[in-house]
Each structure stands twice: as C-alpha cells, then as structure tokens.
Amino acid sequence: MFNRRSLMMGATASAAAVSLAHLAQAQAASRPMLVFVGDQTSEDCKVWRTQWEPLFVASPVYKKLDYRVIYPARSALLSKQQTWPADLRWLLDTFLMSQVGVQEGFEVPRFFLVQNKQVTFSTSGNNGWREVMWPTLQDVTSGQPG
C-alpha cells in the first residue's frame, strides 16, 4: 500500500511538473520580444545604449517583454550568422530577405518586435525608436500582466 501510494504521488507530481513546464513555455512564447541590433562603432547606437536603453529597462514595458541584444564590435559582423544567437538566426535570414533588408541593409540601431515567432514591426534609428517603436511597445504590452 505504501509503495503504491508513493508511486501515485510521484506520478502526480511528475504530471504537475510537466504541466507547469508546458504552461511556462506557452507564456514565454506569447510574450512579445524586442530585439535591438546595433554595433559598437555606431554613434547612434552609443546614444541608444547610454540614453534610451536605460530608460527602457527601467520602464514597466520592459518587464512585459523579452529583450535581446545583438551588438557586435563592427557593423560588418551584423549580417554574419555567427554573430547571432542560434535561436535568433531565423530573424537575420528573414530580415536579409525582406524588401527593407535588401534595399537598406542594417541601418542601426535597428529594432524588431517579434510576436509568436513572427516579426510584427521593425524600425531603425533613435527617432524610429522614440516616435514609432516605443509607442508600439506600450500598446502591445498595455493589457499584459507585469
């Protein structure tokens, strides 16, 4: 009886753990993600990193997003697969094949809003951040728990 009860409790605990893991994955997958792409030689990227990024990170919006940074030493490295984390290389490929990617390449700083593994919005420059991306992020996260 004791062994059967222990076995049942263990199975229940395992099922609960698996269920919680799936729930955590689903919640993580549904969180919007902001990807900042820049390079260390760009003056505009330095402005973003020193002025705008600290304000963003201190905001309630930041707590409702996943935030990723691609920030190599030189702009020539931005289009290299090795520069990007493996789980974001699809984003590089998507951008490079897009009309904007083909025509403009990487104008930095560049910001991608990703929802459900789809790029839903992209803009570049500090003005693009301030005038378009920031209000978009506020709208996207307004109904989400912090």
Domain boundaries, the chain: 1-30, 31-141
Q: How far is CA 106 from CA 74, 87, 110, 134, 144, in A?
A: 12, 19, 7, 20, 31
| CATH architecture of the domain with range 31-141 | 3-Layer(aba) Sandwich (3.40)
Give pTM, 2 decimals. 0.79
| Residue-wise pLDDT tens digits, 54-85 | 999 999 999 999 999 999 999 999 999 999 99
Whether 26 shows a pLDDT value over 70: the answer reads no
Write out the two tokens for 56: 């963003």
Question: What burial class does residue 59 get, using C-beta atoms within 10 Å of its C-beta: 0-12 exposed, 13-18 middle, 19+ buried?
Answer: middle
| Residue-wise pLDDT tens digits, 91-146 | 999 999 999 998 888 899 999 999 999 999 999 999 999 999 999 999 999 977 76
